[in-house]
Structure 1
Amino acid sequence: MIKQIQDAINQYETIIIHRHERPDPDALGSQLGLAEVIKVRFPNKKIFVVGEEEESLAFLGEMDFVSDHEYNEALVIVCDTANTDRIDDKRYDQGAFLIKIDHHPNEEPYGDLHWVDTSYSSTSEMIVEFVEQGKAVGYKLDSASALLLYAGIVGDTGRFRYTNTTPETLQRASLLVKQTFDQNAFYSNLHKKDLKITRLQGYVLQHFSIIENEVGVMRLTKEELEQFNVTSTESSQLVNTFSDVEGLKVWVFFVEDEDKIRVRLRSKGPVINTIAAEHNGGGHPMAAGATAHSWEETEEIVKKLVEACK
């Protein structure tokens, strides 16, 4: 599969890389990291990254402005996105050839070619392996790509604390650390919070609830977000705010956003992506997202989480 992706990259002079909307460090890390790797290998090709900017992760890099005509005869690669509904910038299907690279369950095998492997902690880790297997044909890491891919792995493994951290994950991360990038600066940027986020964090700690000593629940309405001047996307930084409470097995953030309620699910054991799939979502067994269309539906989700803990 990696050889086929290499062949496709060789064939096209314009390559446009997408990822999912409301990006996290892995989405941006794999997108920007792959772009950097290809630029180093093929300095004369036109490599673009597209999607909405995410202010909290702007230190990783900026998106490009890409006109529609650039998609003519272009190779399009989508990173870290399980289904087409979540792809940021809907022109992903306007190119000549489409590749999907992802570590989520392959619920929608879109594209002309898809490399999907759930054994990897992150799509960024997959890109590291792509480079390793491409060394014989000129691919290599540099400090810029190493920082980006490290960010993605750190983000999706919770700084190597989650169960998706395998021996292979640590080996690949070590290849990145060998490159000369400033880890202290990276972590400072990753974990810094605006004052408004810090104040909302305090509010969350005061107002979350625990059901049957095992299920943590937080609901944030549009009015509460407006009170703290925080967007629904920015609130995602707080999903693990109360995760260390003793006895907690699963927790959920419900965040009201326009005409729907975003659902962020996390677990220390019970499988939760099956619940997410029942509510317009999906993800990993221990970390998933969904969408609810009423507060009544959020009650259904909480009941299912309680049952999952049993």
Structure 2
Amino acid sequence: FRHIMPDFDAMGTQMGLYTWIKDNFPNKEVRFLGDNHVTFTPRLFPETERLNDEWFKEPFLAIIIDTANTSRIADPRWKKAKYKIKIDHHPDVEEFGKISIVNTTMAAASEVVVNMILTVKGDYHLSKEAAQYFYIALAGDSGRFQYNSTTPHTFAVAKELVKTGFVLSDVYRKMYFKKIEDLRVTAYVLNNFNVSEHGVAYYVLSADIQKELNITSERGKENVNIFSNIDGINVWCSITEDSKDNCYRVSIRSKEKAINQVAAKYEGGGHAQASGAKLKSLDVLPNFIQDLDTLFVE
């Protein structure tokens, strides 16, 4: 199991652990559940398995990956598990599971899991396929090793994954693959972003604009990092209307200052330099930007 609206880390860690367990315990029945991703599936990850409710009537173990709180677990049938294990790297805002393995010093859930795999006693094999999934997760959640969450340990884990022999250039090509029509979205963002007085850059993608650009709400944050490493921009955000949930989903990134406390104020949370939030309407957008702006008032 992993969180809804999955990212590189959620899907990569899930599939990496699934593959590792299948490789080392071939007699075990292992399943992976959750919603598919609009672009990652099937380019990077296989279609999620579909299980009927009958399967969950037998005792099973649920391993929940990269998910800080139970409301964000993608399939509610995790609750039927006889035994539950939580493995995460986000702030531990909600304790759940018989075993909870949370390490907030690590850049990705992938790093937590691979660290366990590399240190566990026994003759276990880390295959090229499993390592590639874990690497996708690690590179994705560390911003290709550029975020402050990246440590020497992160690079040490990456080294062990790369040693299995997968081709790095193939991985990055698949991760950041774009189509020509995607440039229209980028062009819209570059022509319609705003920057506040203290360097908070943001763009808004309404439902009408998404329809015009032929994208779904899940893809709204794809261009958020265009604004990283720009002089005068301290925080950058994508603000995307989600018509299904009647809200605006916000992805927030920061150069240095911690922004997760502001995110928590707006029904979100996450890491110090990478968080998510939710706005009930654009009426609260000025307050949200002001709260981020305040972080940079001397």
TM-score (norm 2): 0.95
Alignment of structure 1 residues 111-260 onto 2, 5 Å: 111-134=97-120, 136-258=121-243, 259-260=246-247
Q: 1:162 deviation in Å? A: 1.1
Equivalent position to 1:44, from 20, 27, 36: 27
Aligned: 1:92 with 2:92: no
SS in 2 for 1:254: strand
- Is the CA contact 1:197–1:235 (under 8 Å) kept in the aligned structure 2? no
1:184-228, Cα deviation, whole Å (9 max, x unpaired): 111111111233322111110111011115110111111110100
Shift of residue 94 of structure 1? 1.0
Task: Summarize deviations over 1:117-157 as a string: whole Å, max 9, x none.
Answer: 101110001111111122x2233211001100000110011
SS at match of 1:46: coil
Secondary structure (helix, strand or coil) at the match of 2:261 reads helix
Query: How far 1:244 moved relative to its partner?
Result: 3.0
- Secondary structure class of the residue paired with 2:101: strand
Task: Tell me which stretches of 4 or more aligned residues in structure 1 moved more than 6 Å.
Answer: none
The share of aligned pairs that are identical, in percent, is 35
Secondary structure of 1:93's match? helix
| Equivalent of 2:258 in 247, 256, 271 | 271
Matched to 1:65, the amino acid is R
Paired residues of 1:20 and 1:79 also in contact (CA < 8 A): yes
Q: Check whether the contact 1:48–1:64 (CA below 8 A) recurs between aligned residues.
A: yes
Q: Distance in 1 between matches of 2:210 and 2:228?
A: 21
Is contact 1:205–1:242 with CA below 8 Å preserved after alignment? Answer: no
Matches of 1:194 and 1:299, distance apart in 2: 34
Residue segments in structure 2 that go unaligned for 5+ positions in a row: none
Question: Which of residues 60, 70, 74 is equivalent to 2:44?
Answer: 60
Q: Give the aligned length.
A: 292
In structure 1, distance between residues paired with 2:285 and 2:125: 46
Question: Contact between 1:254 and 1:298, CA under 8 Å: does it hold in 2?
Answer: no
AA aligned to 1:279 is: Y
Worse-superposed segment, 183-192 or 54-63: 54-63
Q: Structure 2: which amino acid aligns with 1:305?
A: L
Task: Tell me by how many angstroms 1:300 deviates.
Answer: 1.1
- Secondary structure of the structure 2 residue equivalent to 1:236: helix
* In 2: Cα distance, 1:227 partner to 1:146 partner: 39
After superposition, give the CA deviation of every residue in 1:245-286 in whole Å (9 maximum; x if it has no partner).
Answer: 212111111111111110111101111100111111110011
Matches within 5 A, 1:105-116: 105-116=91-102
Equivalent-residue separation in structure 2 for 1:96 and 1:48 (angstroms): 15
**Structure 1 unaligned residues grouped into runs of 5+:** 1-17
Aligned equivalents of 1:179 and 1:268: distance in 2? 33
Q: CA RMSD in A?
A: 1.2
